[in-house]
Amino acid sequence: MSASPHPWRAVWRRAGRRALWGLLLATGIVLPLVGRAAWEGRRELELAAEASELRDVDAQIEHLGRAARWRVPGFGHDEAAVDALMELGAAAEARGDAGSQRALAAYREVRRALLGTRGLFVPQRERFHEANERIAVLMAAQEERFGTDVGGRGDPYAYHLELLEEVPGPKPGRALFAALAFVAWLAAAGGFLVRGLDERGHLRPAPAVRWGGAAVVLLVAWMVALRYAG
């Protein structure tokens, strides 16, 4: 029986089938998650609207914050929630000292929501800066009323803004490098098992050295990256 003149076609067909099954599996996992996040986000916006009709501003802020946390790119409910919180904050701030605490609550909810949904970077970065600036203004006004200077610099606004602008957590570039190093280490370890060992479990010297050495180097790189990611 003669071999197929184009064996690579069979290989590509098998790879294509596996890729299709992988895509279907990923879609089956991701779609329900996206659907729930979108539904929950819209529902929280509706609850915020109901709270607004009842003039329960505290509940409105709470529901808007939840809606902002159910962030799904392309659906827009999170952006609408952040915009509404900023408007609430501005309206409360316009009332002067009487509304300063409510304004702080709205702006802080924006900041928490954006930090809570960040990936490598904070979403809606301009809104993040704007919320930080308004919080710093209100905090500085409070210090002026109480006659305090927590930062000891003579400029409470600059002190609070500097603290607010610092994003907690690991540095994005270093965290990305650590994640890529981990994925590459998994691939190298898999390559060692597949290429570095024969069907009886014996080492194939050259492939074993290549894949094993790569796995060791990448493991060390991942561990170092984790150490300095923060």
- pLDDT digits over 4-26, tens only? 555 566 656 766 776 677 677 66
Give me the percent of the chain exceeding a pLDDT of 90: 43
Are 188 and 215 in contact, with CB atoms under 8 Å apart?
yes
For the cut 80, the answer to whether the pLDDT of residue 83 exceeds it is: yes
Most confident region among 74-83, 188-197, 217-226 by mean pLDDT: 74-83
For the cut 80, the answer to whether the pLDDT of residue 97 exceeds it is: yes
Name the band, by pLDDT with cuts 50, 70 and 90, for residue 226: confident
Helix 156-165 to helix 125-146 angle, to the nearest 10 degrees? 150
What does the alpha-carbon distance between residue 174 and residue 218 come to, in Å, rounded to a whole number? 15
Name the band, by pLDDT with cuts 50, 70 and 90, for residue 1: very low
Beta carbons within 10 angstroms of residue 131's beta carbon = 25
Give me the percent of the chain exceeding a pLDDT of 70: 87
112: Cα separation from own chain's centroid: 12
Can you tell me the mean pLDDT for 153-165? 93
197 three-class SS: strand
Domain map (residue ranges) of the chain: 7-165, 172-227
For position 178, what pLDDT does the model report? 78
Question: Per-residue pLDDT tens for 123-142?
Answer: 899 999 999 999 999 999 99
Name the band, by pLDDT with cuts 50, 70 and 90, for residue 227: confident
For position 6, what pLDDT does the model report? 53
List Cα–Cα distances, 55 to 50, 61, 87, 92, 199, in angstroms: 9, 11, 15, 13, 72
Can you tell me the mean pLDDT for 106-121? 89
For position 169, what pLDDT does the model report? 67
Are 139 and 162 in contact, with CB atoms under 8 Å apart?
no
For position 7, what pLDDT does the model report? 57
Question: Per-residue pLDDT tens for 175-206?
Answer: 777 788 888 888 888 888 878 777 777 888 88
For position 11, what pLDDT does the model report? 57
For position 143, what pLDDT does the model report? 92
For position 200, what pLDDT does the model report? 75
- Using CA atoms of 194, 199, 202, 203 in order, give the dihedral in degrees to the nearest 10: -30
Closest CA to 104 of 61, 150, 140, 135: 135
